[in-house]
Each structure stands twice: as structure tokens, then as C-alpha cells.
Amino acid sequence: MMDIEMPKMHPSQQDMDLIDILWRQDVDLGAGREVFDFSYRQKEVELRRQREEEEEKQKQRLREQEKALLAQLQLDEETGEFVPRSAPLTLTNTTNAAVTQSAPLCLDASVPPSTDLMMPPDIPAFTHNPLLPGSLDQAWMELLSLPELQQCLNMQMQESLGMDGFMKPSTEAQDPNYSQYLPGMDHLSSVQTEVCPPEYINTYDGSFNTMVSPNLSQMSLNVPEVGAEFGPEELNELFYPEMEVKVNSGPLTSDEGSTVSQLAEIPSDPPVSPMDLHSFSPGTFSSGKPEPMSEFPDSDSGLSLDSSPHTSSPGKSLNGDGYFGFSDSDSEEMDGSPGDMESDYAEIFPLVYLTDGASQASLSEKPPAEAQQMKAKNPKIEPAEASGHSKPPFTKDKQKKRFEARLSRDEQRAKALQIPFTVDKIINLPVDDFNEMMSKHQLNEAQLALVRDIRRRGKNKVAAQNCRKRKLENIVGLEYELDSLKEEKERLMKEKSQRSTSLREMKQQLSTLYHEVFGMLRDEHGKPFSPNEYSLQHTSDGTVFLVPRLKKTLVKNN
């Protein structure tokens, strides 16, 4: 990969590196760039707003005190020199005005209205990186707000997309960068993808001078000051670190050497062959130095590897010396042919995975199991990690270890015992196909036992996952049922209360009616009946009788 010389080490460089590290960690953890950009952008915008507000106030103060200097600087701007604005003092009156106008817009849409075509909403994180010097950022905003520059950059981008032959020679060196940017726009709208990000980001590119200077000279602007603040590599890795894999942008005449060239030749399907991955992984497999793998899982019943899991015979070793150590039952299995395993490992696995459609030529040059796993398990993530652009040495080991950790124990065991099948096939093939596959290879006892164990464990693993899934679903269902029952109980309690109230009211009405009726009754002498001696009784057919209480008891007794 071409070393891009950074014109000067700006104080923000460390911050940029830190951002890069953090971003990579997120990517390792599976976080998408969109997620990262979004959350990070939120903070950036806020910080940016505060920074610009403070800076604006400071400029207002200093402008009064430094008129002479401001006038001088204004002259500089008129001569076409874009003075590095390391301090707000360097801003001219017109610049201040421009900043004053553009700042609120930038906080929101990130660009002045005239730059809408260039800067999608997704990009402001870059523009308003709080870690960048505020004055520099403002200068950048001013540049972008110039229609001439926008036009220039648009033409540049169009040319890079093959829509225009203009400026063809000067952009050839730029194409590799485009090839990194464009595929990463998958998450953006097509319009954004076509129009916005490439030129926007490439404005920072170190080769910006070469490309844009002719047009910039017409504008009397000295852009390199801006581009110098951002190394293209940092920008690439910060915002589009994984797009090399997705690129298939045609022939590239890159100055960055074989890495980019190989990338350009990667067929779109499959996106990355094992060989490509191998080639693009900086020092991943062919470093020739021992690769301690302390985190290698030491299964209770499986094998435990020593510090060199990626081993073959010493003569063919891809990772130096080392061998597979085994514990428990697998150690016995390995006793059968440890030497063979090491000596034949590099030869067998290409053959092994050739049966799965992998390229013999590709696989013959690298640990095919890893390549197979990369293709099978992480078709999207791994290529990015294997990219030649994922350069920072401090992240290499971590990425490598994480990648290695992605090989399951059984996959590593299968690799160790040179099982000529993929773990996926061992586990998922139907019994008949599985037996047929097994019959086509002569496996020793250890290999047969391992294959059986892999199949058993693999199926049980799926069963366990399903079991847990069902368990969770049951829990959710029970919780739902519990809520439903609570609601039902609540409803019934309300209904009970209502009926109780209704019953009480009916009893009250009945009592009133009883006394009313009883009070209207008179005996043959016209006297009312005593409630103590008589009571009203009614039958089921609605007939009402006046019953003497004594007589009633007698009737009851009868």
C-alpha cells in the first residue's frame, strides 16, 4: 500500500488515529458504519456547535482589536493564498461573514445550501469533526460553499464514475480511492452514492492537488492547505474501511501497488476468494512468525492447542513452528498420526475444500480452512479486515486473534485432524449423503471419531439453540398469558363489584316494596297487620300470600 506522506502532523492527527482505532473496534464487534456514524455524528454536531459558537464570539472580540492584521490577511486572501487559519485572527471580514452565515447551516445540513448536491446528511460527521481545528473546518466549509469548487469536484467525481472523460489522466491515481468509497455507499441513497461522498471525501485526499489544482487556480484558492490536514488513508479507514471488498470498479492503475490492483480484480461473486483474503491480510497468515493463541479454547473432550494453532509441517509452516496439542480423548485420537497431520496439512486442505467449490489455485497458497471459514461465515466482514487498507499495526494482532477465534473448536479440530470435509457439511448433510461422503474417503479412527463428534455436537448445538429459543418463547408466552389473566381477574373483580352493588340496590328496592305493600294491607276491621305477626310470602308463580309468622313457622316445620 502506498505510503501517503502527511505534509504536517497536525495536533488532530492523534485524535484521528484514536477515532480510527475506536471505529475498528466497533467494526470488529459487528457494528455497522451507519450505526457508528450516526451516534458519533450526534456528538460531533453538538461539539461542533459549541466550538463554533465560542469561536464566533472570540472572533468578534478579536476582530475589533486586530483590524490591522485582519486587513493584511484580507490582502492575502485576495492574492489567492488560502492562509492557514490556525487562529481566528486569520479570518478576514468576509470570511467571518461567510462563517457566520454558514455555521448554523452547517450544524444542521452540514453545508451551505449551494453544496447540497455534494454533501449528504450522512457525511457531516466528517465535516464537523470536533477534533479538527475549528478554523480549518471553517475554511473547509468556505471552500465547499464556493460554486466553482463544487462544479470542479462534481466533474471530478463524474469522471471517476465513468460518466465523463474529462480529466482522465489526472484521476487515475485517484481511482483506487474511489473504488474504496463508492461501494461503501450501499447504505446511502442512490443519489447520494452517485453525487455526494466521493468528491466530498476526496477533497481531503493527498492527491487533491494534482487533480483539482487547475480548476482551483481559476478560483485563486490554495486548497492544499485543507487537504494536507487529512491524510487520505485516515479518511478512507475512518469512513469507508470495508469497501475494498465490495469494489469491482474495473481496471485500476493504482500507485498503491498490487493490493489495490488485486482488489480491483476481485470478482463480485464471491466477493472475496480465500486467496484474496490471504493476500490482503497484512501479515495475517504469511508473516512467518509464531502466532500464540492463548485464547484457543481447550475443550474438555476436545483438543487443546498450544500456542500455534495455524500450523503445518515446519518446512511448509505458514506460521512458524508449533503443533497441535490435545487433551483428553482427542489426545488419543491424535496419537494415530500426528506427524502425518503436520506434514500433509498444507496439501490436504486445498484438496479438502476444493470439494466445496473453492478454488484450488487460491487455496493452495494459504490455510484453506481459514479461508473457507472466512468465506462461509464472514463474507462481508472479513474482507474488510483483510483489506490492505486496514493497516494500523496496533490493530493487526487483535483483528487476527478475533478472526482466528471465529473458527469454532470443531473447525479447528477438523483442521488439526485434516478432516476432508467442511464442518458445515459434516453437520448438515442428510444421513445418506453424509454416509456417502464418508465412504468416499478413508479416514482413520481418530478422524472418524472426530467427524461423529462434530456431527453430534453440531446438531446438539442447533438443538440447544432451538431449545433456548423455545424456552424464551415460552417465557414470553407465559408472561403474556399472565398479563391476560391479570386483566381477566381485574375485569371479573370489577364485574363482581358491579353485581354486588346491583344486588344491594335490588334488595333495597325489594325491602321498600315489601313494606309498601305490607303497609297497604288491612284486616277485616280495617286495621293494618302487625309486621311481627305476619309476613308476605310469594310463590314461584308470582302469587303473594300474607302468612302469619307463627303459622309460617308451623308451615316450615311441616
Partner DNA sequence: ACCACATGTCATACA
Partner DNA sequence: AATGTATGACATGTG
The contact set with DNA (CB under 7 A) reads 29, 295, 297-302, 405, 408-410, 431, 434-435, 453, 455-468, 470-471
Choice between 53 and 295, CB closer to DNA: 295
- Residue 541's alpha-carbon distances to 512, 538, 544, in angstroms, are 21, 8, 9
Half-sphere exposure of 176 (CA within 13 A, CB side): 25
Residue showing cell 466477493 = 271
547: three-class secondary structure by DSSP: strand
CB of 410 to DNA, least distance (A): 5
CB of 461 to DNA, least distance (A): 4
Query: Nearest-CA neighbor of 27 among 313, 279, 239?
Result: 239
Choice between 257 and 379, CB closer to DNA: 379
Choice between 79 and 460, CB closer to DNA: 460
Choice between 351 and 448, CB closer to DNA: 448
204's grid cell: 481531503
CB of 295 to DNA, least distance (A): 6
293's grid cell: 493463541
Choice between 101 and 301, CB closer to DNA: 301
Choice between 48 and 415, CB closer to DNA: 415
Choice between 10 and 409, CB closer to DNA: 409
Choice between 220 and 474, CB closer to DNA: 474
CB of 435 to DNA, least distance (A): 7
Choice between 467 and 513, CB closer to DNA: 467
Residue pair 226/143 in contact (Cβ under 8 Å)? The answer is: yes
281: three-class secondary structure by DSSP: coil
Query: Nearest-CA neighbor of 373 among 419, 444, 420, 422?
Result: 422
CB of 267 to DNA, least distance (A): 30
Residue showing cell 458445515 = 424
Residue pair 222/80 in contact (Cβ under 8 Å)? The answer is: yes
Choice between 270 and 297, CB closer to DNA: 297
CB of 149 to DNA, least distance (A): 43
CB of 447 to DNA, least distance (A): 16
Cβ-based neighbour number of residue 467 at 10 Å = 11
Q: What is the dihedral of CA 454, 457, 463, 468, to 10 degrees?
A: -130
CB of 427 to DNA, least distance (A): 9
Choice between 54 and 473, CB closer to DNA: 473
36's grid cell: 457508528
Question: Residue 368 carries which side chain, given as an amino acid letter?
Answer: P
Residue pair 119/144 in contact (Cβ under 8 Å)? The answer is: yes
Q: What is the DSSP string of 466-483?
A: HHHHHHHHHHHHHHHHHH
CB of 303 to DNA, least distance (A): 11
Q: How many residues does the chain have?
A: 558
First to last CA, the chain: 115
Cβ-based neighbour number of residue 202 at 10 Å = 26
Distance (Å, whole) CA 397 – CA 136? 35
Query: What backbone torsions phi and psi does residue 219 show, to the nearest 5 degrees?
Result: -90, 0
CB of 391 to DNA, least distance (A): 23
Choice between 433 and 490, CB closer to DNA: 433
Query: Nearest-CA neighbor of 418 among 363, 354, 352, 467?
Result: 352
Choice between 285 and 296, CB closer to DNA: 296
CB of 284 to DNA, least distance (A): 18
Distance (Å, whole) CA 159 – CA 153? 10
Q: Which residues, at least 6 apart from 458, have a Cβ–Cβ distance to it below 8 Å?
A: 410, 423, 426, 427, 428
> What sign has the CA pseudo-torsion 181, 187, 192, 194?
positive
Angle between helices 368-377 and 393-405 (to 10 degrees): 80
CB of 28 to DNA, least distance (A): 8
Query: What backbone torsions phi and psi does residue 354 show, to the nearest 5 degrees?
Result: -65, -30
Q: Which residues pair with 537 in a beta bridge?
A: 545
CB of 409 to DNA, least distance (A): 4
CB of 418 to DNA, least distance (A): 18
Choice between 389 and 457, CB closer to DNA: 457
Half-sphere exposure of 260 (CA within 13 A, CB side): 21
476's grid cell: 414470553
Which own/partner pairs from 72-75 qualify as long-range (CB within 8 Å, at least 24 positions apart)?
Answer: none
